[in-house]
Structure 1
Amino acid sequence: MRSEIGINMRLLISITIALLMSGCAATTTTKEAAFPEMYSDVNRQAMLIVPVINETTAAEAPDFLNATVAQPLADKGYYVLPVPIVSNIFKEAGIIDGTQLKGIPFSTYKDKFGAESVLFIKLTSWETNYMVVSGNVTVGMEYILVSAETNNVLWSYKNTFVLDTSGSSGNLIADIIVTAISTAATDYVPVARRVHANAVTTLPVGKYHPKYLKDGKVKNVIPELATAPVERF
């Protein structure tokens, strides 16, 4: 009787694991399936990043994001037009938030900057949460890469990143103090870097990467996080 129960339990566990694995597999897709135009002949290597669209009350957050976005994109094989120079050009024109660029034809970025693709970044949340013995920094982001030639969305990604700042020494008083200090003194530059790094894992590599046009079968894109927006920036 016990052996029969044991066999049934092992069978049940095996079925459960198989279902979980099949469920996980169903939630991901390949880069090429999600972003087919990234594997076409459309030029997209010279990338321009417009000012961050900030929907939060964190006035300094766009500065952290702008300062850290170019490197992970360059590591993926793209030529990123110098962010400080581009930002200054926009500032001289009175543009400090990407919302101000809404409605401008994407071909304008090609004509004025020589850009082949344009990256829009929207900051949807930037919150520091402190709850006595637990704390975190929550950052919600949306990325959309658009072709300056075809106006089509080439790549998109959205997610919410949570950095835990809780203390966990086992001593309640000590944990309260550590959590309060850690949350208040969080260095947001590393936070911004980690958010960008997390996003570009789904971005197909560019022309200057050794795996250019060879990563299309990589299956690490979650469709829910990479849906092309109905309303473009």
Structure 2
Amino acid sequence: MHIVKKISALALLGLTLVITGCANQQPGYDYTAFRESNPASIVVLPPVNKSPDIKASYSLYSQVSVPLGEAGYYVLPVALVDETFKQNGLMNPDEMHAAPPAKLREIFGADTALYIEITEYGSSYMVISSEVVVTANAKLVDLRSGQLLWEGSASASTAEQNNNNQGGLVGMLIIAAVNQIVNTITDRGHEIAGLTSARLLTSQRANGILPGPRARPVTPQ
């Protein structure tokens, strides 16, 4: 009877691992609309900031052009885009994101618009650890049809580079306190926002944005 219980427990564990493994597998993204649209240019709207840090929106915004350019797209200068919105009476990202796609197409002439939302930005101190996290979601919309072409999300954290397992509890507390001070003084959020932006908008990751017409061909190794 005891052996039967063990076998049942092992079977249940195996089934749980199979289910978990299936849940963790990412299905392939449907790029049908993206390929049909075949965009060449992108206007990036200032990100909507859902975090408590007021620096978040423009910290990330200043770092989106490089990964999109490397992906092969023409990106309208973000400073010019932001100023154009404000000259037209749209003073914050929420208002800018509410503008109709056809109007954005008329003003900027771009094929697509990239809408970004920041859900996490900044440092958190949790007694034995301190980290800076930046998380963002993005949607690419065809301004000619209003159709959603792609959406994705990415996150980055200073904890990826930390190793707080040395020195016991006292050492962990000291390291966490030091990290909190360094993160605050040096504004690590901007650095981590750059990493999040690169991960979010690269064409080199699974289910990421497709390469644009100016993308360099990948050389076989």
Match in the other structure for 2:180: 183
DSSP-derived class of the 2:69 partner: helix
TM-score (norm 1): 0.72
Paired letter, 2:62: A
- Please give the residue correspondences for 1:27-176 in structure 2 after superposition, counting only pairs within 5 Å: 28-31=26-29, 33=30, 35-40=31-36, 42-164=37-159, 167-176=164-173
Q: CA deviation at 1:103?
A: 3.7
DSSP-derived class of the 1:185 partner: helix
Structure 1 range deviating more: 139-148 or 126-135? 126-135
Match in the other structure for 2:195: 194
Match in the other structure for 1:229: none
Write the deviation string for residues 16-67 of structure 1: whole angstroms up to 9, x where unpaired.
9877765544xx2334x2x321111x25211001111112221011121011
TM-score (norm 2): 0.76
In structure 2, relative to structure 1, the CA distance for the partners of 1:103 and 1:19 (3 Å cut) is closer
Q: Unaligned stretches of 5+ in structure 1?
A: 1-7, 213-233
For the aligned residues, what is the CA RMSD? 2.9
Q: For the residues of structure 1 that align with 2:124 and 2:49, how far apart are their CA atoms? A: 19
Paired letter, 2:215: H
Q: For the residues of structure 2 that align with 1:180 and 1:85, how far apart are their CA atoms? A: 40
In structure 2, relative to structure 1, the CA distance for the partners of 1:134 and 1:37 (3 Å cut) is same
Query: Is the Cα–Cα contact under 8 Å of residues 141 and 158 in structure 1 kept in the other structure?
Result: yes
Q: CA deviation at 1:175?
A: 3.0
Structure 1 range deviating more: 74-83 or 189-198? 189-198
Query: Is the Cα–Cα contact under 8 Å of residues 134 and 166 in structure 1 kept in the other structure?
Result: no
Q: CA deviation at 1:90?
A: 2.3
Query: Is the Cα–Cα contact under 8 Å of residues 125 and 138 in structure 1 kept in the other structure?
Result: yes
Work out the number of aligned pairs and report it: 198
In structure 2, relative to structure 1, the CA distance for the partners of 1:18 and 1:123 (3 Å cut) is closer
Paired letter, 2:145: T
Write the deviation string for residues 187-224 of structure 1: whole angstroms up to 9, x where unpaired.
22220111122222311111111459xxxxxxxxxxxx
Q: For the residues of structure 1 that align with 2:16 and 2:60, how far apart are their CA atoms? A: 41
Paired letter, 1:29: P
Q: For the residues of structure 2 that align with 1:178 and 1:114, how far apart are their CA atoms? A: 50
